[in-house]
Amino acid sequence: MTPAYERYRRGVLLANVVSASGQVGATRSRRAKIEVLAQLLRGLEPAEIEPTVAWLSGELRQGRIGTGWRTLASARADPASAPTLTVGVVDDLLTELAATGGAGSAGRRRELLGSLFAAATADEQEFLFRLLTGDLRQGALEGVMTDAVAVATALAPDDIRRAFMLSGRLPLTAAIALTEGAAGLAAVRLQVGRPVRPMLASPGESLAGALAQLGTEVSVEYKLDGARIQVHRDGGDIRVFTRSLREITTAVPELVELVAGLPCWKAVFDGETLALNDSGRPRPFQETMSRFGAQSERELMLRPYFFDCLHLDGVDLVDEPLSRRLEALESVAAQYRIPSTLRPTADQAAAYFDSALADGHEGVMVKALDSVYAAGRRGSAWQKVKPEHTFDLIVLGAEWGYGRRTGYLSNLHLGARDPDGGEPIMVGKTFKGLTDALLRWQTEEFPRHEHSRDQHTVYLKPELVVEIELDGVQVSSRYPGGVALRFARVLRYRPDKTAAEADTIDALRALLR
């Protein structure tokens, strides 16, 4: 251990984090997971909170550190006999790794990784290897970790969720809660230029059902087949983010130029963007997504459709009702509002739903006008209604095809997200809807996400999300979630979503009713 790390020798041991990770992964009880995590959080020093929360959520505080699987595999050494690594030592080393670049960086990376693995026990090596390869899945998803922070601090979960929404970073939110308490959480404000976690919608069983639940004080909006965007303007500084909070400003210059022309100085807009064909109808979702990585002006042009305004000229609006936020949006960006109608009758809403479909869109969103902005939660205040049931599910594996599909990965194994943070729960298989192009793509792409295989199937890490259309679900004893998909078919892959944003097993079970 180098002298630079001596000050951390008395910190919390990495072994404690590894033990907590193992305990969380070994139980399906949400309450048990939360208690294990809360106990660990209570014993952390301030500087240890952010890295620990990030690791137990399966992430690195530093983001990508530029180290591949082969480099990590070659760095593994005989394990240490006893734990000595502390959280501070490991976090400092990862920070140094992330900053290492230029001439001689490969050798320096091997040296740093070699010293890390040589000081780690066998269990610590396994934990670090899975963490650094993105394969650490022990069930501490955002919801579980958020509740654990609440238990560890005896603070209101809603206060923690609100601070998380506005900061966009759970490790930072946990550090504030554990070191500054309720006052620190209350001081977290929306900051123009820093992305806010987006509010999500729940699948609505039907238009009539959504209207019956939410009443007449609603907005009914087109549900576009586009990509979620969040646009921040602070004077001449305009930044555009995806639903995962990734910045794409340089890839969408036409959106930046458009927002620069709006009559406001400071603003945060939430909405969708999509490419249109010459007749004004939406192009396929994949074509819109391709623009997020485009660098050429010859690529398809994107058009924004804003449906919310979270800040306008010095006034935060996240705690205002949707009706007030829509008034603010209308005042500065009326020409870019998503098509919508306020307080429609049941017949008017049905006609609007038919109009959305006729215009080539997915359906409608029904939103309560008195709802405040609640990020990251699929509450009933926003409901998406489509003509068919569609769910975003996780690809767990694929079977090798036969007949004309010989040589291609075909039949998909599909899983729903466990809301308590466990492994995805398998709910069915399908090969329907797979075009020749998708078969070729799957066969090339899936091995990059492989964690094992047998003679018939390639099993994947839970990283890829696919949108599935189905007629419904049925009770099943074959699958662990107790439900199975009926007549499922592939619509498209969702590169804009992570497995943590897939639909839950509870959403599928709701169809049984």
DSSP string across 463-498: T-EEEEEESEEEE-SSSTTSEEEES-EEEEE-TT--
Based on the domain organization, do 237 and 171 belong to the same domain?
A: no
Taking residues 413-432, what's their average pLDDT?
92
Round to whole Å and give the CA distance between 284 and 132.
35
Based on the domain organization, do 373 and 226 belong to the same domain?
A: yes
**Among 336, 360, 385, which residue terminates a domain?**
385
Torsion 13-15-16-17 (CA) sign: positive
Taking residues 221-229, what's their average pLDDT?
90
479, amino acid identity: Y
Pairing label, strands 425-430, 409-416: antiparallel
pLDDT of residue 306: 97
Residue 2: both structure tokens together: 């180098």
Q: Could you tell me the residue range of the domain that residue 446 belongs to?
A: 389-512
Give the highest mean pLDDT range of 198-212, 217-231, 321-335, 416-430.
Answer: 321-335
Whether the predicted pLDDT of 101 surpasses 90: no
Comparing 60-69, 218-227, 438-447, 491-500, which segment has the lowest mean pLDDT?
A: 60-69
Round to whole Å and give the CA distance between 176 and 136.
25
**Among 186, 211, 237, which residue terminates a domain?**
186
CATH number of domain containing 65: 1.10.3260.10
Report the percentage of the chain scoring pLDDT > 70: 93
Based on the domain organization, do 216 and 345 belong to the same domain?
A: yes
Round to whole Å and give the CA distance between 188 and 168.
11
Based on the domain organization, do 302 and 419 belong to the same domain?
A: no
Taking residues 166-187, what's their average pLDDT?
95
CATH number of domain containing 309: 3.30.470.30
Report the number of distinct structural domains present in the chain.
3
Task: Determine, yes or no, domain membership for 195.
Answer: no
Round to whole Å and give the CA distance between 300 and 154.
51
Based on the domain organization, do 165 and 17 belong to the same domain?
A: yes
Round to whole Å and give the CA distance between 342 and 10.
60
Question: Coil, strand, or helix at residue 235?
Answer: coil
A 10 A CB-CB count for 207 gives 21
Based on the domain organization, do 378 and 409 belong to the same domain?
A: no
**Residues catalogued as catalytic:** 223
Question: Coil, strand, or helix at residue 412?
Answer: strand
Helix (H) or strand (E) holding 444: helix 436-445
Residue 203: both structure tokens together: 């699948």
Whether the predicted pLDDT of 307 surpasses 60: yes
Which has more confidence, 471 or 377? Answer: 471
**DSSP secondary structure of 366-396:** EEETT----BT---TTEEEE-SSEEEEEEEE
Rg (CA), the chain: 24
Taking residues 96-122, what's their average pLDDT?
82
Inter-CA distances, 220 with 205, 348, 354, 384, Å: 15, 10, 12, 10
- The answer to whether 82 and 123 are in contact (CB under 8 A) is no
Task: Determine, yes or no, domain membership for 38.
Answer: yes
β-bridge partners, 229: 242, 271
Question: Coil, strand, or helix at residue 80?
Answer: coil
Round to whole Å and give the CA distance between 40 and 17.
7
Task: Determine, yes or no, domain membership for 149.
Answer: yes
Task: Determine, yes or no, domain membership for 346.
Answer: yes
Round to whole Å and give the CA distance between 30 and 341.
41
CATH number of domain containing 492: 2.40.50.140
* pLDDT tier for residue 292 given thresholds of 50, 70 and 90: low
pLDDT of residue 8: 44
Based on the domain organization, do 415 and 494 belong to the same domain?
A: yes
Selection from 57, 80, 61 nearest residue 126 by Cα: 80
- Please enumerate in sequence order all residues whose Cβ is within 8 A of that of 329, keeping only pairs 6 or more positions apart, or say none: 269, 306, 307, 308, 309, 337
Taking residues 337-357, what's their average pLDDT?
94
pLDDT of residue 256: 95
Mean pLDDT, rounded, of the chain: 88
Q: Which residue has the tokens 């038919």?
A: 354
Question: Coil, strand, or helix at residue 217?
Answer: coil
A 10 A CB-CB count for 465 gives 22
End-to-end CA, the chain: 59
